[in-house]
Amino acid sequence: MTNSFKEKLGQGGFDGVFKGKLPDGRLVAVKVLNDFKGNNGEDFINEVESISKTSHVHIVTFLGFCFDGSKRALIYNKKSIETCPHLGWDRLHQIAVGIARGLEYLHCGCNTRILHFDIKPHNILLNEDFCPKISDFGLAKLCPKNDSIISMSNTRGTIGYIAPEVFSRNFGGVLHKSDVYSYGMMVLEMVGGRKNFDKGVDHTSEIYFQDWIYEHIGQSEHLQLDMVMTKEEEEIVRKMVLVGLWCIQMDPLNRPSISKVVEMLEGNLEALPIPPKPFLSSPSRQLDDSSTRSIS
């Protein structure tokens, strides 16, 4: 199918993604999984079980899998694997909305709620029309369709995008809003064009960019993102920033649901209040209490 893994399309926490062709001529992407994780294929089984239950325009199309001894592979529609060029703000906003709609489907549209637990830029694929597709369900977890706390024996996700409650129960219980946190970190990274995590800093410094951008939003200043923006573009950016900041609230109960996120992104900027400052940020001027409220 892959002509001996001749053409590599991408690389992640696995052996790689390779271009392939089915007997009927359809092009596919074959994701080959490592066999050294020591979890008895749990990631592989998770991905097959969760993604096989999905069918949505913003979820990567799953065609099948291969399980042959130590060889494990997942087969996707290749149209979902594309290189992302430089994009304008309107396009980035459309992508952010599409990703949110994909998450909304996972959280609300399936018979069983699916929590992804690894939302990050690397796991968002674009087709030739820049339609975003959520991929990589290796850490996903199936759970009932309610707001009950999820039982987890270990931390899941990628540093820089993991919700606080996932690595420490002191921040609250793990539930669907843990995906919302990861989504918010990703949206802020899309705005800032930089990583939210620097390996050279400690964990409490992860949100240094969010701290900086919060100050500018709170003071109603121009964002000064080293690029020229029209008034319409700045409104789009401010909307994405406000939504991102609401999504990364430390207390899961203060974060919006993903359905509310979609509503916020598609609504008017004037309707979005400034969120409270995440308390893991560095100390600085606090906004007046009257300018903040919780969104659920």
Q: Please identify every residue annotated as catalytic.
A: 118
CA 295 to chain centre: 20
Decide if 63 contacts 74 (C-beta within 8 A): no
Q: CA-CA distances (angstroms) from residue 215 to 55, 64, 82?
A: 40, 47, 35
Ramachandran angles phi, psi of 224, nearest 5°? 50, 60
